[in-house]
Amino acid sequence: MGDVKAESVVLRSRHIERTRDAHPSKATGTTSGSRAKAASIDGSPRSLLNGRSHHHHHHTTPDHPQYPSSADPQLSSAALASRMTFLPPSEAIKAHGKFGKGAAEAPSLAVEGSCRSVEDVVGIIRHHPIPFAFGLSLLFFMGVEYTLRMVPSSSPPLDLGFILTRSLHTLLASSPALNSALAALNTVFVGMQATYIVWTLLVEGRPRPTIAALFMFTCRGILGCSTQLPLPQGFLGSGVDFPVGNVSFFLFFSGHVAGSIIASLDMRRMRRYEMAWVFDALNLLQGIRLLASRGHYTIDLAVGVGAGFLFDILAGKYEESKKHAH
């Protein structure tokens, strides 16, 4: 089809030249668009395409370049494709030029050969470093998972947090008074979390932290009843630890950590950054103490952090839904 069109344009240009030679007066009246088309033809496919494109733009936008940077839908669509995909901007333009609506209007941007090169990979790393790092971690942990020696059912769980805090555990085991003192301080911190969350509801009239805490403790109770984990070996209890009195508790997940995260997020939302940093530091010390006393597994603490973020977001969505309902 393209060859037929090219031959037609060539024949037409020859007809124009013969007419100009036979009728000089008529030749001077030839339109500028015909002269541009005849002048642009040299027999090559690119010249034919450029001539056809020039003729089109002569009648539509004669005072603008062929590809305006600010209004060209081809470029704007490619920029959007770059934001919505992992392609760098240059690659998104080429891919859109080949497969999108602008393929016929921007042939010079079409992808030739492979759509990937070393430059494109570098562009992906530069524009999307975090997903690229996650991709590498996926490959790494796939190798770890498929070569891991499983812990026998007769052995206690392998916990890296317990290994890292082994010396602290030995210290607390040899000093019950120190263990009780740290447990008492931890109970005070839990009271600080609860006081702040209740304060935001009753005094400031902001229910989001309270709603998040209610969501969190409800989910924690459901999960704690669903799977009851064994008490870690070497657990160092204390009568002043929360819950006070050495009563039973759910291991998964840590309500200590999740409650602190909920309070810290609200402090940042209200620009109380100093208080938030204090809570984060105390939460870190709390986590170390819980591992050293074998009060929680590492996974309990990690999921507690995620639960704090999750239920704060859910509480915010609940508030938004109530506002839209009214």
Do residues 110 and 94 lie in contact, with contact meaning Cβ atoms separated by under 8 Å? yes
Q: Is residue 159 annotated as a catalytic residue, yes or no?
A: no
Which residue's structure tokens are 């620009």? 271
Instruction: Select which of 159, 169, 241, 296 is catalytic.
Output: 296
Tokens coding 225: 């009843």
Stated length of the chain? 326
What is the rounded distance in angstroms from the CA atom of residue 79 to the CA atom of residue 15? Answer: 44
Could you confirm whether 72 is annotated as catalytic?
A: no
Residue 261: count of CB within 10 angstroms of its CB = 25
Residue 256 appears among annotated catalytic residues? yes
- Say how far apart CA 293 and CA 238 lie, in whole Å: 10
Question: Exposure pattern of 206-237 as b/e (b: 16+ CB <10 Å)?
Answer: ebbbbbbbebbbebbeeebeeeeeeebeeebe
Residue among 46, 30, 221 at smallest CA distance from 38: 30
Please answer whether residues 88 and 124 qualify as being in contact, where contact means their C-beta atoms are separated by less than 8 angstroms: yes
Q: Which of 169, 241, 256, 266 is catalytic?
A: 256
* Catalytically annotated residue among 159, 266, 300, 312: 300
Where do the H-state alpha helices sit in the chain?
2-22, 24-28, 32-39, 45-60, 73-84, 89-99, 118-127, 129-147, 160-164, 166-174, 176-202, 208-226, 255-269, 273-292, 298-325
- Answer whether 32's CB lies under 8 Å from 38's CB: no
- As a whole number of angstroms, the distance between CA 326 and CA 316 comes to 16
What is the sign of the dihedral through the CA atoms of 313, 315, 321 and 326?
negative
Contact 66/53 with Cβ under 8 angstroms? yes
CA distances from 102 to 10, 61, 97 (A): 25, 17, 5
Return the active site residues: 256, 296, 300
